[in-house]
Every structure is written in structure tokens, then in C-alpha cells.
Structure 1
Amino acid sequence: MAKLYFYYASMNAGKSTNLLQADFNYRERGMNTVLFTAGIDTRSGTGRIGSRIGLDRSAIAFDADTDLAATVLAAEGPIACVLVDEAQFLTAAQVDQLAMLADVQRIPVLAYGLRTDFRGDLFPGSARLLAIADSLVELKSVCECGRKATMNLRVDASGKAVAEGQQTEIGGEDRYVALCRKHFTERLAAAAG
């Protein structure tokens, strides 16, 4: 039975690296995959999944109007796996499409993304994945204190915590710091107060 997997973590935990390794494993065995990434994230270029360790691969850029299921079903040859980077940017309807691919089409779906935003709130795509995924896998990252990092703190150009703003602001190490809940809460409270 194919499953819908949600691999989630804070920033800098290696989500894209893990996705690219899984894709390589399928392709090395001669199996076809379909890769998606959020069109809003152009850090590696539009329609590219890139990791900080230098791996990258082209992917289909999605936005809120993309029909993921139709795109997969229109792909050439049998599809062995669907891999989604930046899954936090999926809509709930798109997550349901991915579940249908696993349940009806029997295609495994591996979705990788953030669980929460810079305020500690769930992203819509992540909330739906947490609700319906068959398997939830937390990838580990490390806080500056050595504890497990579970939160994403947005920072300004001087490294000071940002407490207000839009939920989505694309950035990497220049805009976000992965922290444990204790240090996230302390720095966010200092910025808000």
C-alpha cells in the first residue's frame, strides 16, 4: 500500500537534501519520479530544488492553482514516487490530491516542509499534512544551545528577532534561525516587548 509521508523540521535540518537523496534512489533503479517545489521559493531558481550542500534538481513549480494530481497523472511512464519540497505552501485541497495519488493510484508521496512559521503557527499545507498523512517523520536540527531545534525565528539584517509580518517571507540563513522552543520564545518575546 502506498502512503502519504510528511517529513517536517525546522529550517536547516536537511529536508531538501533528504528529498534529493530519495529521488536519486528511485532514479538509480530506473524508476520515474515527479518532483514539485513551491513556485514562490526561487532561492535555487524557479522550478529547482536546491540544498545547502550543493545538490539540486529541476522540479515542477506549483502555486495554489496547480492541480498536482492531474500533473502526475499526465506524466509519461509509470510514476514510482511523487516528491514535494516546501510542502508547507500546499493548499489543503492539494494535500488531499496527494492523498488520492497514494490511496487510489498507489503512488507513494513524500512531502517535505516546515511545520510552523516564524510565530509558531502552522502553515495551512502543514496543518493538513499533519491531519491526514499516513506517516509523520520529524527530521532533527540543532539549536544554538545544543537542544533539538523545532522553531523558526525570523530575523532582520542585524540578527534581531522579527515578531510581526506576513506568514510567508522567503529566505534562508539570512532571514531565519532554527531554535529550540525555549530560545525561540525568549527571543520572540524580547522582540515583541
Structure 2
Amino acid sequence: MAKLYFRYGAMNSGKSIEVLRTAHNYEEQGKQALLFTPAIDDRYGTGIITSRIGIRKEAVVITSKLDMYKLAEREKPDCILVDEAQFLNESQVKALCDIVDELNIPVIAYGLRADFQGKLFEGSYHLMALADKIEEVKTVCWHCQRKATMNMRCKDGVPVFEGEQIMIGGNESYVPVCRKCYSEGRKQAAKQRSAQRRCKVNQINDELEK
């Protein structure tokens, strides 16, 4: 019986490599793997799944108009692989469930669990709730030797904890960190913001006294 798998991991944990490796394994056996990737992730071009080591493969672009169920029903692949699944919406995740339950096609969705503020993405939320099996793709914190579980957003090398949930980027914008290092980075950022506010208040007071 087919199942829906959700394999999540922090940034730089090799999720896209896993997608491409799995697709290659199916193809070596003479089987068809149908690949999907959300339209919003266009870092390496629309409809391209690319790993950080340079391996790449074309994929079907997931848009609001795409009917994944009908496509799967027509193509009848042996497996469906989804990259960057955190960007899916509720109806798209449910379409994957229907593909598994009604067409008996296994689906493996790879993606982030949470954003740079530690909040679940919409796609991840529904995959965590509906997937038959949830697995972690592990990597190491960039600041220590612990397992990375958080995604720290950075700007010019400085941690950022405010902003829009979705901002597409790679190593220049995100680093995988453990919960402890993430918490320490947040505390340090709060101290810097407080110091900047005090400095601004002092500048205003100085101007008023002139």
C-alpha cells in the first residue's frame, strides 16, 4: 500500500540531493519518478531542482492552476517526489493524500519544518498532520557540534529575526543552527536593537537641548 512521506530538515541538510538521488534510483530500475517543485522557488530557474553540489533535474512546476491529481492519474508514475514542500498550501497537500489513497502512488515530500522564526510553514503544518510517515533529514549546527533544528536568517552575516516568512535564499541568507545557538543569536539581536534604540533616543535628546 502506498504512503505519504514527509522528510524534513534544516537548511543545507541535503534534502534536494535526496530528491535527486531517489529519482535516479527509480530511473535506474526502469521506473518513472514524477518530480514536483513549487513555482515560488526560482533560485536556480523555474522548474529546476538543484542541489548545492551542482546536480540538477527538471521538475513539474506547482502553481495554483496545476491539478497534481489529474497529472498523476494520466502519467501513472511509480513514485512522486516533491521538493520544497513547505511552500505547498492545504489543498495541495490534500491532493497528495488523494494521489496516495486513490491512485496508490507513493509520495515523498521534502521540505523545511519551520521558518526563521520557528513557526511552521503552511505546507509543513499539513504534512506533519497528514503524512503516514515523518522522517528527519539531519545536519549539524554551523556554530557548534549539535544537531541543527532551526533555520537562522542572516543579512550581511548578522542574524535577523523579523520580516516576511518567505524570503527565498541559500547559504548567503540562511544557516542551519541548533536551538541553543538560535536562542543565543536571538538574545544578542535583542540587545543590539535595545542599544540602537537608546542611541537614537540620546541623539534626539541632544538635538533638543541645542
Root-mean-square deviation (CA, aligned residues, Å) is 1.1
The separation in 2 between residues aligned to 1:13 and 1:47, in whole angstroms, is 21
Name the structure 2 match of 1:151: 150
Bigger Rg over Cα: 2
Does residue 88 (structure 1) correspond to residue 93 (structure 2)? The answer is no
Q: Cα distance, 1:41 vs. partner? A: 1.1
Preserved contact between residue 88 and residue 123 of structure 1 (Cα < 8 Å):
yes
In structure 2, the gaps of 5 or more residues are 192-210
Q: Show the counterpart of 2:13.
A: 13
User: Residues 57, 182 of structure 1: CA spacing in aligned structure 2 closer, same or farther, 3 A cutoff?
Assistant: same
Higher normalized helix content (fraction of residues): 2
1:129-155 deviations in Å (ceiling 9; x for gaps): 000100101010101201000000000
Distance 1:132 1:169 in 2: 26
SS, match of residue 70 in structure 2:
helix
The residue number in structure 1 matching 2:183 is 185
Give the conservation status (yes or no) of the 8 Å contact 1:39–1:47.
yes
Question: Aligned partners of 2:68, 2:124: CA distance in 1, in Å?
Answer: 16
* Matching residue of 1:45: 45
Give the match's secondary structure for 2:152.
strand
Q: Residue 32 of structure 1: CA displacement? A: 1.3
CA separation in 2, counterparts of 1:97 and 1:189? 41
Match of 2:207 in 1: none
- Write the letter of the residue equivalent to 2:124: S
Deviation at 1:65, TM superposition (A): 4.0
Map of 1:30 onto structure 2 = 30
Amino-acid identity (%):
49
For residues 181 and 64 of structure 1, the distance between their equivalents in structure 2, rounded to whole angstroms, comes to 34
| Counterpart residue number, 1:72 | 72
Aligned to 2:57, the other structure's residue is in SS state strand
The corresponding residue for 1:126 is 124
Q: TM-score, normalised by structure 1?
A: 0.95
Over 3 Å off, 4+ runs? none
Distance change (3 Å), C-alpha of 1:38 and 1:192 = farther
Q: Tell me the secondary structure at the aligned position of residue 160 of structure 2.
A: coil
- CA contact 1:118–1:153 (8 Å) conserved in 2: yes
Which secondary structure state, in structure 2, belongs to the residue aligned with residue 141 of structure 1? coil
CA-CA distance at 1:67 after TM superposition: 2.3
What amino acid maps onto 1:146 in structure 2? Q
Query: C-alpha offsets along residues 27-79 of structure 1, whole Å, 9 cap, x if unaligned?
Result: 1111112111111111121100000112110001113443221222233xx31
The aligned length equals 190
Distance in 2, Cα, partners of 1:89 & 1:65: 15
Deviation per CA, 1:150-169: give whole Å up to 9, x if none. 00000002x11111111000
The one-letter amino acid of 1:155's match is C
What does the per-residue CA deviation read over 1:103-126, in whole Å, with 9 as the maximum and x for residues that have no partner? 110000000000000000000000
Aligned-partner Cα distance in 1 for 2:183–2:66: 36
Counterpart amino acid of residue 153 in structure 1: M
Q: Which residue matches 2:101? A: 103
TM-score by length of 2: 0.87
Paired amino acid for 2:171? E
| Counterpart-to-counterpart distance in 2, 1:127 and 1:65 | 22
Gaps of 5+ in 1: none
Tell me: higher relative CO, structure 1 or 2? Use CA pairs within 8 A at least 6 residues apart.
1
Q: Is contact 1:34–1:81 with CA below 8 Å preserved after alignment?
A: yes
